[in-house]
Structure 1
Amino acid sequence: MSYRWIVTDLDGTLVDRSLRMVPRSRAALHRFRQDGGQVVIATGRSRESAAPYYAELELTGPAILLNGAQVCDLSTGEVLLDRRLSTSAWVGVSRLLDDLPEEAAGVAFVGGRAYRVAESVLLDAYAARDGLTIEPVTSWDDLPTGGVSKAMVICASSMVAGGVAGRAALPGVTTLVSEPTYVELLPAGTDKGTALTWLARHCQVPLDEVAAVGDNPNDIPMFAVAGLAAAVYGGHPDACAAATVVVGRCDEGAVADVVSHIGALA
């Protein structure tokens, strides 16, 4: 089997916990592209947050952002797919964000920009970690109706995140826990798998010629549609169970292992 695309998650997959791209994986993706393959980033990050890694890889072409709510060519700024919470779904989400416990804080994304209502050390740490600017607004009502791509709740612990996720089964909303302390609220039917399916069809690339690699449950939907699904060793057990193959650790070059694996299959 020949694979034309490698679709890779960032955090915990291509990028280690110190937020550095693993050199061995970067070099392997460079070789894959030199041999005619295409690399697609698939991440929960926004345009602003994903752009430095996209540039480091010297990519051109589309990236899957906001866990599938957007597909954007970061080299040109062209937005290819842009899904938004419906007006009624946003009403439910904004009420949830207004009623969070003290150990949690909300952020909403409108296209490529992020917004907050409350000051929070949790949001400050999240913004610093992801290289993200979060703009203040007086109220969630200040955001455009039908304009929110996704909302996130940053929690102080996985226990808090579990409680928030339990309250987030809202009409018109897909809820996922993308990291142990991150609860994401997306337009219904939105995930990395639906975005990858759309993008592959848009680019006329058969899904069985796509290799996907990730480490968390939010990567499982793209595992379900890709021809090859590779999970990072030490990743979430559910992701490992859903994968075709489990490769090495992120910091040892998990994505490079995928490049080697598909080379051996060619």
Structure 2
Amino acid sequence: MSEKRYDDILLICDLDGTLIPRYEMIAEDNVRALNTFTAAGGVFAVATGRTPESALPYLDGITINAPSIFFNGAMLKDLSADQVLETRTLEGDLWRTFAARILYQFPRACVEVYTQEQCNIISPKENDDPRLEEEFYSVNHTTLRDMEDATWLKFFICDAPINLSFIERLAKELGIDQCSTSFYSDANYLEFVPPGTSKGAMAEVLHAMPAYTGRRVIACGDYENDIELLRMADIGIAPEDASKEAKEAADRIAPPCREPIVPWLLREVL
């Protein structure tokens, strides 16, 4: 019997909550299945809110043979060539005003500004979200003043959900909602990226590249920031323990995140 081939498939996977259970690494079963997939002609890319630097430790030993999506769609980067192919940026002085208001009005928030190079924290160090140390983030503790002239790709706030709802209201009051796309990537994580930016929008850019344009897109994701990716795919897949909105956007429901999704995908979907 001939070996199964995946020459017509582009697989794009979210990391946290999809390939990676919280505070764990990618299961060996997922690693083996991904490498089987690429060895048989499949193309694999990551789509994550992380920086490339914080994603790479999880991807050791995995063949990634297409450019990947970072900062929830604000960057497309070829990891093998260490080359940034596209970015989307937050423009205007209004972002500095918004950041200053959050720092003043929400003194316990962890406020992060993402540039192409790194994660910059402009709130007090004691406010740092534990994930930063536990999940391989290299951070630069700095001030809003020092970030004023930098090029921002993503603006991120970690705080109690009730406070984030007030920050959403502040964004509307200042007009931030008119010059950004915002979403939750967890109950206490509110993110702002440039207008029209999403994992799904950048996946469209990736799919339009000549090397991938003829392939069917299979996408996997678990949260609000994955919805556009799931919708653009030919087949969108969400784990059973994904958010309600992600499951509604998906075509297929996989087992929970703790059960490796890629072997299931190769067996049940492809």
Once structures 1 and 2 are overlaid, which stretch shifts more, 141-150 or 224-233?
141-150
Task: Give the equivalent residue in structure 2 for 1:36.
Answer: 41
Task: Give the equivalent residue in structure 2 for 1:23.
Answer: 28
Q: State which of 120, 135, 141 in structure 2 corresponds to 1:136.
A: 141
- Could you tell me how far apart the structure 2 residues matched to 1:61 and 1:86 are? 28
TM-fit CA distance, 1:167: 2.8
RMSD between aligned residues: 2.1
Asked if 2 retains the 8 angstrom alpha-carbon contact of 1:47 and 1:112, the reply is no
- Could you tell me how far apart the structure 2 residues matched to 1:229 and 1:122 are? 36
Asked if 2 retains the 8 angstrom alpha-carbon contact of 1:70 and 1:83, the reply is yes
Q: Report SS of the residue matched to 1:252.
A: coil
Task: Give the equivalent residue in structure 1 for 2:230.
Answer: 223
- Could you tell me how far apart the structure 2 residues matched to 1:68 and 1:154 are? 19
The structure, 1 or 2, with the larger RCO (C-alpha pairs under 8 Å, 6+ apart) is: 1
Residue type of the alignment partner of 1:254: I
Q: Report SS of the residue matched to 1:135.
A: strand
Change (3 A) 1:13 1:163: same
Q: Report SS of the residue matched to 1:230.
A: strand
CA-to-aligned-CA distance 1:123-163 (integer Å, 9 cap, x gap)? 251311321121122x32322536011111011x3333333
- Give 5+ residue unaligned stretches, structure 2: 1-5
Task: Give the equivalent residue in structure 2 for 1:148.
Answer: 152
Task: Give the equivalent residue in structure 1 for 2:85.
Answer: 80
Residue type of the alignment partner of 1:164: I
TM-fit CA distance, 1:117: 2.1
TM-fit CA distance, 1:3: 4.6
Please tell me whether residue 160 in structure 1 is matched to residue 172 in structure 2.
no
- Could you tell me how far apart the structure 1 residues matched to 2:77 and 2:101 are? 28
Asked if 2 retains the 8 angstrom alpha-carbon contact of 1:231 and 1:240, the reply is yes
Asked if 2 retains the 8 angstrom alpha-carbon contact of 1:21 and 1:53, the reply is yes
Matches within 5 A, 1:146-225: 147-155=151-159, 157-169=160-172, 170=176, 171-206=178-213, 209-225=216-232
Asked if 1 retains the 8 angstrom alpha-carbon contact of 2:8 and 2:214, the reply is no
Once structures 1 and 2 are overlaid, which stretch shifts more, 56-65 or 73-82?
56-65
TM-fit CA distance, 1:204: 4.7
CA-to-aligned-CA distance 1:9-29 (integer Å, 9 cap, x gap)? 000100111221122222211
Asked if 1 retains the 8 angstrom alpha-carbon contact of 2:44 and 2:63, the reply is no
Once structures 1 and 2 are overlaid, which stretch shifts more, 238-247 or 146-155?
146-155
Task: Give the equivalent residue in structure 2 for 1:243.
Answer: 250
Q: State which of 65, 72, 75 in structure 2 corresponds to 1:67.
A: 72
TM-score (norm 2): 0.89
